[in-house]
Amino acid sequence: MLRERQRAARRQLFPGGEAALESLTAAGRDEARRAAELILAAHHTYLETFDAITAMAQETFETRAWAQGAIHAEQRVRLYRDAVDDAWRKLKRQFEERVADRGFWLAARHLFLERAFHRYDADLALTFFYSTMRLAFDAQEIPVEYDDDGLAEGWHASQQDPVWRRYSARPDRLRGSIEELLASRGFGPRFEDAAGDAARVAERLLREWGRAGGPPRELRMLETTLFRDREAYLAGKLCARSRELPVVLALRHDERGIAVDAVLSGREDMRNILFVSTRSTFHARTDAYRETLAFLDTLAPERGHPAMCAVLGFTHPARVALNQRVRRHLRETGERFSPAPGRTGMAMVVFSPPSFPYVFKVVRDFSGKEGWTGRARIMDLYRWVHEMNRGRLMLDAWLYRNLHFPRQAFDESVLEELLRTAPFSVRLDGETVVLRHVYAQRRVEPLNTFFDRTADRGERERVAEALGAFIKDLAWMGFFVGDHYGLTFNTGLTHARNVTLFDFDDLAPLSHYRFRETPHQDERDELLWNSEVDGAWFAVDENDVLVDEWERFLGIPPDLREWFRARHGDLFTLEYWTELQRRVMRGELHHVLPYPEERRLDRTGS
């Protein structure tokens, strides 16, 4: 009976598969079977390797092997693309005459699902199949939709064991529950002060809960630990009969032992601090990923399911979910792709439905921007940023290939600009717009737009302070933005009032730049040299940064320049940058604190 229900579900989700299979010869069916088995084996190998790298995260945290952890994180980000590329190369070698035949692929998909449908990870497997299939039709610009055919929401094997554990949250028992929670994680190294941490956490949680609605009844905590960079996170929520408060304990490990360093609480903290696209993905056990995602979705529903998929490292399923979301948004709102607010980019055309939380970006084929190096270089930079530790300072961007939208989904001004400046990436096929390459990125407000519209002095000062901290944190991570004269046009403001970089065409390692001061010109030379006729009297190379000139062009509004200099005047000195370069070259990279200082626990009395 169960097998019959599975067959019925397959027929409903994937009509036409059997017909495609029957249209092939016996030899063709055999080749389709072998292709399906090859892709499924490649997916299994990918997922096993993904899980193996993920499992190393706890050891990295326990041994404080931060450099090795960073290597693992970069390996895991590249893993999916490398696995798909490898599978595609094998398919081309073995089935060269078949891989351009869509009927062959539909038959292979039918056989693939016969083997994968009963598995818990069937939705991930199908995403992998489509990613491989997409490469077969990429050059022909034939769309292979970013879709799961309803599989993730249709019949699938479920994980029966609960992914979260219940603790008492009564005020007189919460401290003991926190101690029990900390002990349950089984870390090898000892806690510096587990009892003291439990007391501080309980006090903070009860204060954050407040008195409204009575005391909390229980604490529900995700069984798996979320690891990212140098922190470990315990995620869950305080619950009463009609109220929930998301809570996360951030753990750090130093020479004194493991400690709870910070407590995040409320949906705003989840949305703006923890589950953000400006940081690396979490490393967390994923044997029950669907149930884990469902639990995390309740902590920050505003982030949306695509973002939640991405924070666990499933970026390609996240793309599927986002593609479905934008199409549903266009249908339900009647909005169209319109120009995004802010300055018109010289490297990218940026557009989005006005109320959608993501923007879409297409690289121009040519640009009048000084130092323009072409679209391939820009795409390499975006991939570089996607694969690195972004340290809360850079927005991730997801690349789509061959998306098709109806022409009426676009404002004519957007479509005209795309066709005129990016003909390699965009074409019109009748009434269908084909986006050969397009990026999706979380929407932020450009800094120049913020300063133009905001009159409140306190708000302006806070954002200017965040910009100064951003420049220093980015440099301490070993990076610099070459277009430093237009920084406020390329950086944006997140919901948490953090500054983040969203355009990467001028991003490079700090070591690429030479920091200088404007050479002194004596009075006699100044009289003899006519700069209007003779040009600049000293040579400036492409990667030179004149620190004393930078202040005038940074983009800080005139009314804040003196205020900014009082707090970040060291940015305009040669000594600051040359010493920073020396320290970065010695490997003294800076770890950006992933949460605000005020979320940290006060340990002065411990």
**DSSP string over 500-559:** EE---TTEEEGGG-EEE-PPP--HHHHHH--HHHH--SS---TTEEEHHHHHHHS---GG
Its sign, for the CA torsion 606, 207, 274, 286, is: positive
Range of the domain at 408: 333-443
Across 573-590, b (16+ Cβ under 10 Å) vs e yields eeebbeebbeebeeeebb
Note whether residue 591 is domain-resident: no
Same domain (yes/no): 381, 498: no
Note whether residue 88 is domain-resident: yes
Q: Give the confidence band of 458 by pLDDT, cuts at 50, 70, 90.
A: very high
Q: Which of 16-30, 239-253, 442-456 has the lowest mean pLDDT?
A: 16-30
| C-alpha to C-alpha distances, 554 to 159, 251, 295, nearest whole angstrom | 53, 37, 43
Note whether residue 244 is domain-resident: yes
Instruction: Find the angle CA(137)-CA(141)-CA(142) to the nearest 5 degrees.
Output: 60
> In whole angstroms, what is the distance from residue 341 CA to residue 461 CA?
23
Domain boundary among 260, 282, 313: 313
- SS3 at position 125: helix
Record the tokens describing residue 304, joined without a space. 């949306």
One-letter amino acid for residue 145 of the chain: E
Query: Residue 13 has what pLDDT?
Result: 47
Same domain (yes/no): 429, 365: yes
pLDDT tens profile 254-290:
999 999 999 999 999 998 888 887 778 899 987 888 8
Same domain (yes/no): 517, 431: no
Q: Are 440 and 469 in contact (CB under 8 A)?
A: no
> In whole angstroms, what is the distance from residue 578 CA to residue 511 CA?
10
In terms of DSSP bridges, do strands 226-228 and 243-254 run parallel, antiparallel, or are they unpaired?
Answer: unpaired
Note whether residue 599 is domain-resident: no
Record the tokens describing residue 78, joined without a space. 């590249």
> In whole angstroms, what is the distance from residue 446 CA to residue 491 CA?
6
pLDDT tens profile 490-504:
999 988 788 999 999
Same domain (yes/no): 171, 309: yes
Domain boundary among 393, 419, 443: 443
One-letter amino acid for residue 580 of the chain: L
Query: Residue 17 has what pLDDT?
Result: 64
Domain total of the chain: 4
Which spans in 185-270 are helix H?
194-209, 266-269
Shortest CA distance to 378 belongs to which of 428, 438, 423? 438
> In whole angstroms, what is the distance from residue 165 CA to residue 220 CA?
6
pLDDT tens profile 31-76:
999 999 999 999 999 999 999 999 999 999 999 999 899 899 989 9
Q: Are 246 and 266 in contact (CB under 8 A)?
A: yes
**Higher-confidence position of 15 and 387:** 387
pLDDT tens profile 463-476:
999 999 999 999 99
Same domain (yes/no): 213, 303: yes
Q: Give the confidence band of 526 by pLDDT, cuts at 50, 70, 90.
A: low
Of the ranges 415-419, 507-511, 541-545, the best mean pLDDT one: 415-419
Query: Residue 521 has what pLDDT?
Result: 63
Same domain (yes/no): 461, 431: no
Same domain (yes/no): 171, 288: yes
Q: Are 134 and 142 in contact (CB under 8 A)?
A: no
Can you tell me the mean pLDDT for 499-523?
85
Same domain (yes/no): 107, 7: yes
Note whether residue 595 is domain-resident: no
**Higher-confidence position of 151 and 362:** 362
Same domain (yes/no): 26, 114: yes
Record the tokens describing residue 133, joined without a space. 């299939």
Note whether residue 153 is domain-resident: no
Return the bridge partners of 436, or none.
none
Element (H, E) at 264: strand 257-265
Shortest CA distance to 32 belongs to which of 47, 45, 20, 14? 20
| C-alpha to C-alpha distances, 348 to 209, 503, 509, nearest whole angstrom | 45, 9, 22
| pLDDT of 606 strictly over 60 | no
Non-local (6+) Cβ contacts of 104 within 8 A are: 24, 28, 31, 32, 35, 95, 98
Tokens 């950086």 belong to which residue? 491
Query: Residue 16 has what pLDDT?
Result: 59
| Residue count of the chain | 606
Record the tokens describing residue 234, joined without a space. 């315990």
Same domain (yes/no): 33, 127: yes
Its sign, for the CA torsion 297, 300, 306, 309, is: negative
> In whole angstroms, what is the distance from residue 549 CA to residue 546 CA?
5
Same domain (yes/no): 170, 301: yes
Query: Residue 192 has what pLDDT?
Result: 94
> In whole angstroms, what is the distance from residue 281 CA to residue 320 CA?
17
Query: Residue 330 has what pLDDT?
Result: 97
Note whether residue 118 is domain-resident: yes
pTM: 0.84
Fill in the DSSP letter of residue 96. T
Can you tell me the mean pLDDT for 100-109?
90
Record the tokens describing residue 422, joined without a space. 């990016």
> In whole angstroms, what is the distance from residue 295 CA to residue 573 CA?
49
pLDDT tens profile 311-323:
888 888 888 888 9
Same domain (yes/no): 198, 132: no
> In whole angstroms, what is the distance from residue 35 CA to residue 103 CA?
13
Note whether residue 594 is domain-resident: no
